[in-house]
Structures are given as structure tokens and as C-alpha cells.
Structure 1
Amino acid sequence: MSDDSMGFGFVLPKGLVDEEGTVHREGAIRLATGNDEIIGDRHPNLSEYPDYRPLVMLSRTIVELGTLPLVTPEALENLFLIDLDYLLDLYNSINPGEAELGMSGEQPATPYPSCIGR
């Protein structure tokens, strides 16, 4: 799928495995809207778990994932980390920098000063 009105096509590296054991790899994601931000910020899990926001935003913008009838944050909880990273990178590449998603608590890898020059 190309970057038309249906969204940007993707293929997950591993794929989401549903409760029946079906692997879902191909899908499409669309650009995020202001409405996604407003409604996404009202998700009940966000008050207790702010780190849940990327799953909420991905579930609002992924328009298709394999044969799943509906992409929900709860379904995305079962993503392999490589697939979550892939989707976050894709989301961030098609949306402006101000809307960038990431898992909080992640720190870039930087060598500890005493290790430099060894």
C-alpha cells in the first residue's frame, strides 16, 4: 500500500500473534490527526500508565493489521519489541516531530566516561 488515503503500508519484522496463534505482519498506518491526540489522551489507561500513550496512538492510526477486525491498544500489547520499535519509527517518520512517539524511560546508549579510550 502506498501513501494514499488508505495510509502507508508496512510489514512487521516478526508479526503480532493473536490469541488463536495467527501471525499478522502486513498493515497500513495513516497520518495522525489532532482528533487522535484529543481522543487518545482520554484513554482510561493513560491516567495510571502514561507510557501506554504510544500504544493508544498507534491503535488510532493503524488502519489495518493482517486480518485483525480491530487494532486496539490491548492487542498491541502483544507486539514483539522489534515490531513495536518498527511501528514507532514508522509513526515518527510520517508525522511531524512535535507528535513524536517513544517509550519514556528510554535513554540513548552512551559510553560511561571511564570506558572511553579503553
Structure 2
Amino acid sequence: MNAQRTLALWLVALLVFSCRDMGNVASLPPVDRSSSNGMVWVFQIFSGGRQCDTSSHYTPPDVRELLGTASVGVSDTKIVGLAVCAACGCPTYAANHYALIQAYDLEKAQGLGFQRSEEPK
């Protein structure tokens, strides 16, 4: 019984400390959509695959191609991996995919599910 309680406490601690702060979007400065030099970072979380399933394979989308479908030019991209649980049924891949775009294309990117963010670290 004591071992189960210890395991439960470790799992709760792991859950609490593994949560990541994606940044406070409300604290970002307003976007100047009229400026052709104004650049903003956007991101979207992609995850997929299934552990313990040999038929499961996941290839994340190419962010440049995805945004290109909405005529959004991308100046730079970054991928920041996220932790996934190590158990059957958990995803094999999870990451934040960031793209640096022109501010005037922000609404197009948001239409594809991207959110404005700070520059990734």
C-alpha cells in the first residue's frame, strides 16, 4: 500500500512539473499589420503515432508547406520537442512547430490553427 502511495505521488509530481508554459499570449505587444517589416512568431502543437502499435507511424507536417497553402511566407522555423509518456497508447511524437511570418499574414496562419507566440527558446 505504501509503495502504491509513493508511486501515485511521483506520478502527480511528474504531471505537475511536466506541464509547460506556452507563454502568455495576452502579454505580447500588439501586431502592426500595416508594416511590411513586422514579423511575428506563430506556433502549433503537432503530435501523433501510437506507442506499442507497430503499424502506427507519424510524420509531422512541414510547416513551410502547410502555411504556404494559405499563401503565408515563412522566414524561419524552429521545432521544440515535447515530452510524451512512455506507455502503450501514448503518442510517439509531440512538438511545438514555430514559424516566423509577416505580421500581416497572422490571420491566415490563425485560420490554419496556428497561434501567436513569443520567439521560441
TM-score bin, normalised by smaller chain: under 0.3
Q: TM-score, normalised by structure 1?
A: 0.23
Which structure has more relative contact order (CA 8 Å, sep 6+)? It is 2
- The structure where strand makes up a greater share of residues is 2
Alignment TM-score, normalising by the size of structure 2: 0.22
Higher CA-based Rg? 2
